[in-house]
């Protein structure tokens, strides 16, 4: 019977006893066992029983977790009428509380009882037990410190205790010590038991069980000892042994306590790679010295030593001792120097400057103090180059300039170089400087690839000419030069190689020019093939600085930028991307090649501000350059000049065309803008006949084409001097244009006024033309009175007499008045009662008469040659315009006043 079953029997017996004692009390629910510790993954059984009397029975009991998760009925087991058990598998996620409830309620409370479950695992067996006793002063400490591995599973909610046990020799009693941690502890002895057997183990235990580790039993407790490292370590250099060093030390503890063995390691100063001496050579007990052999002469070395118990499989190595340093003696160089050359253009066109440089021999066996140089071809000479720079150690081969030569392109040189140190000289190294025109084949295709750690260089074997002389490749020289700093270095490879890793101290993100030279027999150097490379590429440190090239136009602008400095590229530029924007979310971009440094922006908007920048990209990323702002102009360059020139040319063409037209139409323009105005003084009115008939014949249209008829009112009452039946005698054809002028009245009486007249054009074709043309020629006519008698008779009111009228053609082109243009209007027909009288434009009309007709005018008559000269002058243009009534009245008054100066005419006209 297990512990759980025994507990349940005990609890069940107690429940029966309580049931008999409390038979007269109310029923209660009790669970057994109380607060159990359960193992995760195992089955657990709990029993629930009713005590006391009541109506409830085992059928009314049920189980649940945390009052929310009822357990299924199939997990129940009915024990009797008042008890029910449940069996379940405990998991890591099983709730901590388990309740038993009764479905029958009492008057006081609900029947219920609960227990808590403590889940966990039994302890695992500790593993990897190890113990060590360290040196304390000159003795071994009596405290043994042990460590172990408690297990990865853990113990869940249970706490596990660990206890160390140790048994010395044949003693029956075990020494125990409880560990404070679950993976380490210590056990103390009064004295460390040297040369005594000991057995040590660790025990782990918790509420679910216990477990013991494997026993660590040794025959000698010294196998747990870890001593201090050896002290007073020394390296002794002996001049007679340039390739060895003597090493001595002092043991950390006396051999009476622990017998030790040692281990030695060494390396050149500055190196991180140690060389260990085989244990077989240092396995002798209590060894205190050792000679290091096969070392490099004149090399500084660092040595260390450590020790442990000599038994195999047990014990612990001490820590390494402090460094001990010494330098081996010098020996003469065992290898020639590594000679190379750098060729640059000379001072003149046909010269070259050759710089011969050399590295120390690989087996220099000391510090190189000088070089001996012999040059054949220019002249034989020996040059000693003294080394003044500091000693950098044999691990770093220094580069020294051993000769500077200036050769003609047609010259060649043969160079020998020997290195010397304090012990002797090295084998000689040779090199041939060929003529400029003598070029040997270069290697084939060259490729360089960097991966961040190494730079791999690969090439193809040179194609040699088939004809003799036959050249054989003996070596290859791989040369690399930092583009930004100019540091140069090189390495040699065998003639059968087709690739190598560069062994120099290359820097990441730095560009190098890698060159491969084939070296032919007798030291001839072939043509180089060069390729740029990076050990590792990155994002450029800065972007291009863009600016505007020239002035921007209205729709285009040219951007330019400079290449990023090589030391800031950090990789090969794969492309540039041009960005430009107005700042309103309309960003545009254009990718260009890596060798492009200008770009023309097109389709821009005029009078607009733009922002532009350039992005440089490598295979590792991109970076933007600085922004540059510019504004386009409203008009493109030359556009305004083109418009002005176009307008000027158009205006000039118009002016020239107008001038040509004026020259071609000179007469027409002159006739329209400058009409010919005849001199009234020279008018043909002076040639009129005095025997003019008293009544004019009716002229026909052809005869009156160029004649204008002027009616002269000889009477002072404003009526026409002609009879009505005489008006029909003048059927004049109306001209195309009518004059705007008023004719002056003619007569010998002051009451006579002028009346409207008609004007007849000189052509019948003018009738159909537009009346708006005011430039047409209008002919004026002069009228001469028939006789003074007639005039007097007319003024005196004689009826039936017609004054004689003579018509003469005038050459005047003065336009007619509106009343003369429109004789048919009511104003004109009414005899001029409402007609305005603007001042006449002609200066004056003169009317000649016969002599003796003028009273009191003898002086005037004599001045005019015996003819009577009547003068008709217009009103002053500066005088105010009179109204129609006032104008007529005023004119009649002036006419009467003027008529009073004339004597009555008694007869007809005097011959002209």
pLDDT tens, residue by residue, 304-361: 999 998 877 678 899 999 999 999 999 999 999 999 988 888 888 888 888 889 898 9
Domain identity same for 617 and 594: yes
Other C-beta atoms closer than 10 Å to the C-beta of 530 total: 15
Domain identity same for 220 and 267: no
pLDDT band at residue 119 using 50, 70 and 90 as cut-offs? confident
Mean pLDDT of 262-287: 89
In this predicted structure, the answer to whether residue 671 has a pLDDT above a threshold of 60 is yes
Domain identity same for 747 and 872: yes
Domain identity same for 626 and 645: no
CA 153 to chain centre: 58
Mean pLDDT of 424-443: 86
Q: What's the CATH number where 569 sits?
A: 2.60.40.10
Mean pLDDT of 716-737: 40
Helix (H) or strand (E) holding 791: helix 788-795
In this predicted structure, the answer to whether residue 898 has a pLDDT above a threshold of 50 is no
Domain identity same for 137 and 204: yes
Give domain status of residue 541, yes or no: no
Give domain status of residue 500, yes or no: yes
Domain residues for the domain of 577 are 546-631
Half-sphere exposure of 580 (CA within 13 A, CB side): 26
| From 46-55, 394-403, 445-454, the region with the lowest mean pLDDT | 394-403
Give domain status of residue 439, yes or no: no
C-alpha closest to that of 407 among 396, 419, 415: 415
Domain identity same for 275 and 208: no
Give domain status of residue 907, yes or no: no
> Phi-psi region for residue 715, left (φ > 0), alpha (ψ -120 to 50) or beta?
beta
Domain identity same for 666 and 750: no
State which of 534, 568, 587 marks the end of a domain. 534
Domain count, the chain: 8
In this predicted structure, the answer to whether residue 729 has a pLDDT above a threshold of 50 is no
Mean pLDDT of 755-774: 38
pLDDT band at residue 708 using 50, 70 and 90 as cut-offs? very low
Mean pLDDT of 781-791: 41
**Tokens 């359960």, residue located:** 38
The tokens for 117 are 């479950």
Contact by Cβ (8 Å): 833, 884: yes
Domain identity same for 684 and 668: no
The tokens for 641 are 């000049």
Give domain status of residue 388, yes or no: yes
**Tokens 């290359």, residue located:** 506
In this predicted structure, the answer to whether residue 539 has a pLDDT above a threshold of 50 is yes
| pLDDT of 704 | 41
Contact by Cβ (8 Å): 743, 759: no
Mean pLDDT of 748-758: 39
Q: Exposed, middle or buried by CB within 10 Å (0-12, 13-18, 19+), for 165? A: middle
DSSP 146-208: EEEE--SS--BTS--EEEEEEEETT-SS-EEEE-SSSSEEEEE-SS--TT--EEEEEEEEETT
| pLDDT of 314 | 76
The proportion of the chain whose per-residue pLDDT surpasses 70, expressed as a percent, equals: 68
375-389 in b/e form (b: 16+ CB < 10 A) is: beebeeeeeebebee
> How far is 414 from 416, CA to CA, in rounded Å?
7
For strands 118-120 and 37-39, give the pairing: parallel
In this predicted structure, the answer to whether residue 1 has a pLDDT above a threshold of 70 is no
Angle (nearest 5°) at CA 293 between 503 and 252: 110
Domain identity same for 733 and 649: no
Contact by Cβ (8 Å): 478, 514: yes
> How far is 592 from 558, CA to CA, in rounded Å?
14
pLDDT band at residue 900 using 50, 70 and 90 as cut-offs? very low
Domain identity same for 686 and 834: yes
| pLDDT of 665 | 84
Can you give the length of the chain in residues? 912
Give domain status of residue 539, yes or no: no
- The residues that bridge with 784 in the sheet, in sequence order, are 806
In this predicted structure, the answer to whether residue 381 has a pLDDT above a threshold of 70 is no
pLDDT band at residue 452 using 50, 70 and 90 as cut-offs? confident
Contact by Cβ (8 Å): 457, 512: no
C-alpha closest to that of 236 among 365, 159, 325: 325
pTM of the model: 0.49
Give every CB contact of residue 228 below 8 A, 6+ residues apart in sequence: 135, 252, 253, 318, 319
Give domain status of residue 441, yes or no: no
Domain identity same for 711 and 666: no
| pLDDT of 683 | 67
| pLDDT of 688 | 59
In this predicted structure, the answer to whether residue 564 has a pLDDT above a threshold of 80 is yes
Q: Give the best-scoring range by mean pLDDT among 68-72, 105-109, 367-371, 565-569.
A: 565-569
Domain identity same for 241 and 195: no
Half-sphere exposure of 455 (CA within 13 A, CB side): 25
């Amino acid at each position: 019977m297990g512990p759980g079953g025994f507990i349940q029997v005990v609890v069940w017996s107690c429940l029966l006893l309580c049931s008999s004692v409390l038979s007269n009390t109310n029923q209660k629910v009790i669970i057994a066992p109380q607060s159990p510790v359960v193992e995760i993954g195992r089955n657990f059984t709990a029993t629930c029983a009713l005590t006391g009397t009541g109506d409830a029975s085992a059928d009314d009991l049920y189980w649940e977790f945390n009052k929310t998760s009822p357990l299924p009925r199939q997990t129940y087991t009915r024990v009797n009428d008042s008890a029910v058990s449940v069996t379940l598998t405990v998991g890591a996620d099983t709730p901590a509380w388990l309740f038993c409830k009764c479905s029958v309620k009492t008057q006081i409370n609900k029947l219920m009882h609960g227990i808590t479950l403590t889940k966990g695992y039994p302890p695992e067996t500790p593993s990897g037990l190890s113990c060590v006793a360290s040196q304390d002063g000159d003795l071994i400490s009596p405290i043994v410190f042990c460590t172990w591995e408690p297990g990865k599973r853990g113990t869940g909610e249970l706490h596990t205790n660990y206890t160390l046990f140790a048994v010395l020799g044949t003693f029956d009693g075990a020494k125990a010590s409880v560990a404070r941690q679950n993976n380490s502890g210590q056990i103390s002895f009064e004295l460390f038991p040297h040369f005594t057997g000991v057995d040590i183990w660790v025990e782990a235990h918790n509420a679910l069980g216990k477990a013991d580790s494997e026993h660590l039993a040794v025959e000698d407790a010294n196998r747990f000892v870890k001593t201090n490292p050896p002290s007073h370590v020394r390296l002794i250099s002996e001049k007679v042994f340039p390739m060895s060093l003597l090493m001595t030390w002092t043991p950390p503890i006396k051999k009476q306590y622990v017998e030790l063995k040692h281990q030695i390691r060494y390396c050149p100063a500055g190196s991180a790679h140690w060389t260990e001496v085989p244990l077989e050579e240092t396995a002798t007990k209590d060894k205190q010295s050792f000679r290091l052999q096969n070392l490099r002469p004149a090399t500084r070395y660092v040595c260390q030593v450590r020790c442990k118990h000599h038994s195999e499989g047990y014990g612990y190595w001490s820590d390494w001792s402090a460094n001990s340093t010494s330098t081996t003696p010098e020996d003469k160089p065992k290898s020639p120097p590594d000679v190379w050359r750098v060729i640059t253009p000379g001072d003149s066109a046909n010269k070259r400057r050759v710089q011969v440089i050399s590295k120390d021999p690989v087996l220099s066996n000391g510090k190189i103090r000088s070089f001996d140089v012999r040059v054949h071809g220019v002249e034989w000479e020996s040059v000693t180059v003294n080394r003044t720079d500091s000693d950098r150690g044999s691990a770093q081969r220094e580069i020294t300039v051993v000769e500077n030569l200036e050769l003609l392109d047609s010259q060649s040189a043969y160079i020998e170089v020997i290195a010397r140190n304090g012990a002797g000289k090295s084998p000689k190294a040779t090199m041939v400087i060929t003529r400029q025109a003598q070029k040997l084949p270069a290697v084939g295709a060259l490729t360089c690839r960097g991966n961040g750690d190494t730079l791999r260089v690969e090439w193809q074997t040179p194609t040699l000419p088939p004809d003799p002389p036959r050249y054989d490749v003996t070596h290859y020289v791989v040369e690399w030069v930092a583009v930004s700093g100019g540091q140069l270095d090189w390495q040699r490879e065998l003639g059968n190689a087709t690739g190598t890793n560069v062994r120099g101290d290359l820097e990441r993100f730095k560009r190098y020019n890698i060159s491969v030279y084939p070296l032919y027999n007798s030291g001839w150097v072939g043509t180089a093939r060069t390729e740029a490379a990076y050990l590792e590429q990155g994002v450029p440190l800065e972007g291009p600085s863009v600016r505007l090239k020239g002035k921007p136009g209205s729709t285009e602008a040219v951007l330019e930028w400079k290449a990023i400095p090589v030391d800031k590229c950090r990789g090969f530029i794969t492309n540039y991307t041009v960005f430009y924007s107005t700042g309103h979310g309309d960003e545009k971009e254009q990718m260009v090649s890596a060798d492009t440094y200008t770009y023309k922006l097109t389709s821009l908007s005029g009078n607009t501000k733009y922002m532009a920048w350039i992005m440089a990209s490598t295979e590792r990323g991109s970076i933007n350059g600085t922004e540059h702002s510019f504004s386009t102009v409203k008009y493109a360059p030359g556009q305004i000049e083109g418009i002005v020139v176009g307008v000027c040319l158009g205006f000039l063409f118009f002016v020239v065309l107008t001038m040509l037209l004026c020259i071609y139409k000179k007469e027409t323009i002159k006739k329209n803008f400058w009409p010919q105005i005849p001199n009234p003084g020279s008018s043909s009115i002076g040639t009129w006949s005095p025997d003019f008939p008293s009544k004019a014949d009716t002229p026909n249209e052809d005869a009156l084409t160029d004649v204008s008829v002027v009616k002269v009112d000889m009477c002072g009452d404003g009526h026409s001097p002609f009879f009505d039946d005489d008006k029909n005698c003048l059927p004049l054809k109306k001209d195309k244009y009518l004059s705007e002028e008023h004719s002056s009245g003619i007569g010998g009486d002051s009451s006579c006024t002028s009346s409207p007249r008609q004007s007849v054009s000189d052509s019948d074709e003018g009738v159909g033309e537009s009346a708006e043309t005011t430039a047409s020629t209008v002919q004026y006519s002069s009228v001469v009175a028939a006789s003074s008698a007639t005039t007097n008779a007319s003024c005196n009111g004689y009826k039936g007499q017609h004054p004689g009228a003579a018509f003469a053609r005038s050459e005047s082109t003065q336009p007619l008045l509106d009343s003369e243009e429109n004789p048919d209007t009511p104003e004109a027909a009414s005899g001029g009662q409402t007609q305005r009288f603007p001042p006449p434009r002609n200066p004056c009309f003169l009317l000649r008469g016969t002599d003796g007709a003028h009273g009191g005018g003898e002086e005037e008559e004599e001045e005019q040659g015996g003819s009577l000269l009547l003068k008709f002058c217009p009103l002053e243009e500066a005088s105010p315009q009179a109204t129609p009534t006032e104008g007529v009245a005023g004119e009649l008054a002036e006419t009467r006043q003027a008529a009073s100066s004339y004597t009555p005419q008694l007869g007809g006209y005097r011959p002209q």
